Chain A
Amino acid sequence: MEIHELSLIGQLNQLKEGSLSSTELTQHYLDRISNFDEGINSFITVTADLALKQAKESDKRYKSNSALPLDGIPIAHKDIFCTENILTTCGSKMLSNFKAPYSSTVVNNLSADGVVILGKTNMDEFAMGSSNETSYFGPVKNPWNKEYVPGGSSGGSAACVSAQLASAATATDTGGSIRQPAALCGLTGIKPTYGRVSRYGMIAFASSLDQGGVLARSAEDSALLLASMSGHDPKDSTSLNEKVPNFLKNINSPIKGMKIGLPKEFFERDLPKHVESSTKEAIKTFKDLGAEIHEISLPNVDLSLPVYYIIAPAECSANLSRYDGVRYGYRCENPKDIEDLYMRTREEGFGPEVKRRILIGTYTLSAGYYDAYYLKAQKCRRLVANDFNEAFKSVDVILSPTTPDTSFKSGEKSNDPIEMYLQDIFTIPANLAGLPGISFPSGHHEGLPLGVQLVGNSLKEAELLQATHQFQKVTDWHKKLPEVK
């Protein structure tokens, strides 16, 4: 077995044993990136020198018996996380020249545990998109079939892990941006409870929905990384002051008696046969593992998509106001005056999807529309959250397909925003309610992966990881890797 085929935990064991050095592993990934990423475009920046320097330091620590929990594991960061002195673009022309003067808490936490940074991954511009086609740095290809999209917005992170160009990658999820690409690329991706992972230094799209997380090849790998990233951060006022449990502690415990809810509103939808059958297969596997299956109802869950497309654009319209060409980032040439500077900088610096959302958000917050849109959406958001609270009185986790279908071809949905927005129909509710969600591989159709999602109650990431790990112990879907050429 080649070292890039090993799981992250497998690599970590070899590093600990001394049968593998971080320098060796890092160089191996750097070689793969230079050989294979041109056709995938998963990286915006490759930090080869930094990576090798970090690997060397890691090897020293192993030699001196002072190794850190994730020492020497080469990972990639989504280009939404600020990294000191490294280009941090958020997939936008607006920040195409922006070297962050500081690092995000997520980056710092992982670095403190010894990871090696291979580079920064491609993404939909400002995390707005479900196909990774809105990036200023070009679309990312799905390693399973390059005619297909990897999903978005964390498409670069998903594609690079799927193509084994990194052991794992950080990602963010505002409406499904970790879970949808996980499903489309055959990975395990977890979005924790809102506030579990600090948002400090994570470039904001929609502040009340954004949450950092992990894209990896298994629940175990995800558990290890998530533990490192998580924790209370005084720099983020919405960060939860909760102790981070050891996510690996109960991961091997059987899930006998775990109550899994199936929301009838999701299963009443007209799903493609292969999605339905793969989901049913997954349900059967959980049943065989001793879980109880219950039908439940989330009566207001259909409000999720419209609510999301009011709240997320509203918040983004304000969050993106700082990109004005005054202090950093892109600035238009020869501005006549301040108005001209603002208008042309933003006209030239933002892509069409970002502009669309800024316009929607500006509109819904405007005098005379605020009550009808934003305020009403906030009330509906509460209804959706209440549905989950109610449901978790009778079940432990909620299962559904992650996406309405397998991946789609590049360009297929890019002219129809609504069709594109429907990609996140199953993932958005967890963001609205601030709940943890995980997606993991559950099947293949015509050579493309499919995923199933579990949503847990607040702070119950450990349960999600446990259920997923138990599933992965008896299934092989997560072990299937695309052939990378």
Chain B
Amino acid sequence: MTIYNKSWEAVIGLEIHVQLATNSKLFSGASTHFGALPNTQACNIDLALPGVLPVLNAEVLKMAVKLGKALNANINTPTSFARKNYFYPDSPKGYQISQMDKPIVEDGFLDIELEDGSSKKIGITRAHLEEDAGKSLHEDFEGQSGIDLNRAGTPLIEIVSEPDISSPAEAVAYLKSIHSIIRYLEISDGNMAEGSMRCDANVSVRKIGSKELGTRTETKNVNSFRFVEKAIQFEIERQIDEIETGNTITQETRLYDSQLNTTRPMRTKEFANDYRYFPEPDLLPVVLEDKFIEEVLKEMPEMPDEKKCRFVNEYDLSEYDSSLLAADKDLADFFEIVSKTSKAAKLSANWVMGELSAELNKENLTIQDSKIKAKQLGQLIIRIEDTTISGKIAKEVFEKMWSTGDEVDAIIEKEGLQQVTDLSEIESMVNKVIDGNPDQLKQYLAGKDRLFGFFVGQVMKESQGKANPAQVNQILKERLKE
């Protein structure tokens, strides 16, 4: 989709905010549950009442250490917090507690897999902890604004990449890789629509070969993988257009409009805040002892790359299939149950990535919401393997399972879909087909071998798809020789 002038290249860095899946907030005991009535999950600390103080939720340290490990990064100890000062109604203290000089995670990298199968290393500058803001509600208040502070103080980790990304496709690959990691670590649900993962893209362009970086813009509010790709694409083309028509790029924050597929300026640098960062005096620097880090790392799950390698070795799947399955932890887990139930790994992989994924996509469901459970799909594959049904009939059974929720065997029995393996029955069908098509028989015998397929098809049709195809083949071959 990269259609812009070949003499330009894009320089892209992403800032990804990930909401950490803790039960309580970063600095208070209030719940972080999504979707509660406005301001019912904002305690004295979240409301920034006079005299309140923050207390760090230790759970986030574990999450950050795991993430740091997965990003091949250093864990800073001590790590310290800072105040970022700005006035906004949904920022109750008038400052956000964030990290500046000593972010908990620093200096890592991630290898991303590109569509052509090659891989690329993306540097990770840092990942720091900070608290989320509340939400300003501008509708339904007749000229006034409402404020919901339920989200205020929810823990975020912001992952900042180096400007190592050179195309919208790479940006999406990187984002998907981060998404996969946070899901694997179970530190976030990564739900972009609900805002648990948000992405800002820093984009600039320059002539290929140029060492100097162009002026960059920061595009905010890109809340799906597809929009990230589109927003960056738009921004690259806009910047090239601007420069080619003799204009300059303004360093600014832009907002992506997904309906119009454009970006527009949010605020220019002139109005940008001086955040006046300084060390948070209410929190002491946090020392992460070696023992603590070791304990946390013991809880590290198998990561996508490791899983992919295991799938190749253990199930003899292709690299491509393995990496596709391993990218989504839930999908991989689902596949493993199917495979363990059916004892047929390759077929299981085909069904999970084929029929099942297609059905999920069609109904816009996640794998957890699949109407056919992993064990049920495994049962279906067992029936293919033991030749109770053919692959073709299996698709029919799959559809029925999907719509009714019934078990495989019940459907096969009820619908009479059991494969016909009775030789005499198949023979009589073969005879019927040969007798009924004398012209085709003549041509076949005259040397038109391709017509063999026609006969197979006719027999299958006669059996309503239930005849065992291998047996049909065998008997037809014998009969046609005669």
Q: Which residues of A contact B (CB under 8 A)?
A: 81-82, 88, 90, 95, 98, 100-102, 104, 199-204, 206-208, 234-238, 314-315, 317-318, 320-322, 324, 326-328, 338, 342, 362, 365-367, 370, 374
Residues 72-126 of B at the A interface (beta carbon under 8 Å) = 83, 85, 87, 89, 92-95
Residue of A nearest to B149 (CB): A327
Within the complex, the shortest CB–CB distance from B267 to chain A, in Å, comes to 14
- Number of B interface residues, CB 8 Å? 29
Contact between A324 and B53 (Cβ–Cβ < 8 Å)?
no
Contact between B87 and A324 (Cβ–Cβ < 8 Å)?
yes
> Can you offer 7 A-B residue contacts whose CB atoms are under 8 A?
A235-B53, A235-B55, A237-B283, A320-B94, A328-B49, A362-B276, A367-B274
Contact between B51 and A203 (Cβ–Cβ < 8 Å)?
yes
Contact between A318 and B94 (Cβ–Cβ < 8 Å)?
yes
Alpha-carbon separation in the docked complex, A208 to B278 (Å): 12
Q: Which residues of A contact B95 (CB under 8 A)?
A: 318, 321
Does B287 reach chain A (CB closer than 8 Å)? no
DSSP class of A's interface residues: helix, strand, loop or mixed?
loop
Contact between A95 and B274 (Cβ–Cβ < 8 Å)?
no
Q: Which residues of B contact A237 (CB under 8 A)?
A: 53-56, 282-284
Most buried by A among B50, B83, B93, B278: B50
Known A321-B85, A338-B89; 19 more pairs at CB < 8 Å? A88-B50, A203-B51, A235-B53, A237-B54, A238-B283, A238-B284, A315-B281, A317-B276, A318-B95, A320-B94, A322-B48, A324-B87, A326-B147, A327-B92, A362-B276, A365-B278, A367-B274, A370-B276, A374-B278
Contact between A236 and B53 (Cβ–Cβ < 8 Å)?
yes
Residue of B nearest to A343 (CB): B87
Contact between B49 and A318 (Cβ–Cβ < 8 Å)?
no
Within the complex, the shortest CB–CB distance from A431 to chain B, in Å, comes to 13
Residue of A nearest to B274 (CB): A367
Q: Which residues of A contact B48 (CB under 8 A)?
A: 322, 327
- The residue from B50, B92, B93, B145 contacting A203, defined by CB atoms under 8 A apart: B50
User: Shortest 3 CB-CB distances between A and B: which pairs?
Assistant: A321-B94, A207-B281, A365-B276
Q: Which residues of A contact B297 (CB under 8 A)?
A: none
- The residue from A200, A314, A317 contacting B51, defined by CB atoms under 8 A apart: A200
Q: Which residues of A contact B318 (CB under 8 A)?
A: none
Contact between B50 and A90 (Cβ–Cβ < 8 Å)?
yes
Does B52 reach chain A (CB closer than 8 Å)? yes
Contact between A318 and B85 (Cβ–Cβ < 8 Å)?
yes
Does B366 reach chain A (CB closer than 8 Å)? no
Q: Which residues of B contact A202 (CB under 8 A)?
A: 51
Q: Mark B123-155, 1 if CB is under 8 A from A, else 0.
A: 000000000000000000000010100000000
Q: Which residues of A contact B85 (CB under 8 A)?
A: 317-318, 321, 365
Residues 246-304 of B at the A interface (beta carbon under 8 Å) = 274, 276-278, 281-284
Does B464 reach chain A (CB closer than 8 Å)? no
Residue of B nearest to A82 (CB): B51
Given contacts A100-B50, A199-B53, A370 and B87 within 8 Å (CB-CB): no
Alpha-carbon separation in the docked complex, A102 to B50 (Å): 10
Alpha-carbon separation in the docked complex, A365 to B281 (Å): 14
Q: Which residues of A contact B278 (CB under 8 A)?
A: 314-315, 318, 365, 370, 374
Contact between B93 and A322 (Cβ–Cβ < 8 Å)?
yes
